[in-house]
Structure 1
């Protein structure tokens, strides 16, 4: 399974995002090449209107369930309404450096 394609399809179908960016950040972690284990997901959707952050994350996690049962170890979720996204200047936070595995001091 190509995780990025799966997530893109699942999120587009359910959330009809006005903006969607899914990045495989596995290379930033102590995992084998091609692991497809760590993803940063930024999704902007009217579907999030009136929902608390935890509800948004639960919704995305439910849509990503198949991938989370397989190769995905971590999803960094950035979920916004279009108004919130505009107020942020169309930018999500950068992912922090990995401190796990062989990258610990």
Structure 2
């Protein structure tokens, strides 16, 4: 498992996705610098992310179902801490 971002929000994303999805791969990439000064930039440096997550929990699930599973695992972070998140969710072997 890889965590490519180490801020507090990224750490919380990692913890929640690990607990909720038991991923075999997890990359949490902070894209906030690309959005500095744009809408949703709260100045924290942790408002925009890309998450690459592989989990057996995604087997047989559609892309939309997988994104919903990620959003459920993240819970209130998506409402209060994260402005935007790109999600790449796969099952092992895909």
- TM-score scaled by length of structure 1: 0.74
CA distance in 1, matches of 2:81, 2:45: 7
2:89 aligned with 1:83 = no
CA distance in 2, matches of 1:14, 1:65: 10
What 5-or-longer segments of structure 1 have no aligned partner? 85-105
What 5-or-longer segments of structure 2 have no aligned partner? 1-6
2:36 aligned with 1:38 = no
* DSSP-derived class of the 1:82 partner: coil
The question of whether the paired residues in 1 share the 8 Å contact of 2:21 and 2:73 is answered with: no
Query: Which structure is larger by alpha-carbon Rg, 1 or 2?
Result: 1
2:77 aligned with 1:67 = yes
How far off is 1:33 after superposition? 4.3
CA distance in 2, matches of 1:17, 1:2: 20
Which residue number in structure 2 is paired with residue 50 of structure 1? Answer: 60
CA distance in 2, matches of 1:32, 1:10: 22
4+ residue runs over 2 A deviation: 30-35
- TM-score scaled by length of structure 2: 0.82
CA distance in 2, matches of 1:24, 1:44: 18
